């Protein structure tokens, strides 16, 4: 039954357009790997190590985006108590920018 509730909540978020930004802002995965190798952004593993909220809960989606030259990670997280949050992190510093 909980999976049905989760599916409905995720569907509602996706249909509302609240979760995902403009697809033109998404960073190509190969380019993201190069950015991490060059030390220009932190890896997702580094975010996991730094932010317990990501490690303790289920990550449903991860996007690396670039808007006006600024790289951010948008992470959709399902918490074990049933609520879902979108966390936005600065991809260069790894700092939490917002939590919806």
Which tens digits make up the pLDDT trace of 51-66?
Answer: 998 989 999 999 999 9
Greater pLDDT, 16 or 83: 83
Q: What is the pLDDT of residue 38?
A: 95
**Residue 46 tokens, joined:** 């580094």
Domains delineated in the chain:
2-99 (3.10.450.40)
Q: SS3 for 65? A: strand
Round the average pLDDT of the chain to a whole number and report it. 82
- Report the C-alpha gap between 53 and 79 in whole angstroms: 8
pLDDT band at 100 (very low <50, low <70, confident <90, very high): confident
pLDDT band at 23 (very low <50, low <70, confident <90, very high): low
CA-based nearest residue to 90, from 33, 47, 58: 47
Q: What is the pLDDT of residue 60?
A: 94
**Residue 72 tokens, joined:** 């951010």
């Amino acid at each position: 039954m909980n999976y049905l509730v989760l599916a409905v909540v995720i569907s509602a978020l996706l249909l509302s357009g609240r979760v995902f930004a403009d697809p033109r802002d998404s960073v190509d995965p190969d380019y993201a790997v190069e950015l991490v190798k060059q030390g220009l952004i932190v890896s997702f593993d580094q975010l996991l190590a730094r932010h317990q909220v990501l490690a303790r809960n289920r990550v449903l989606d991860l996007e690396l985006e670039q808007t006006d030259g600024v790289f951010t990670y948008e992470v959709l997280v399902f918490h074990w108590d049933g609520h879902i949050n979108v966390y936005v992190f600065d991809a260069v510093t790894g700092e939490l920018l917002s939590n919806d």
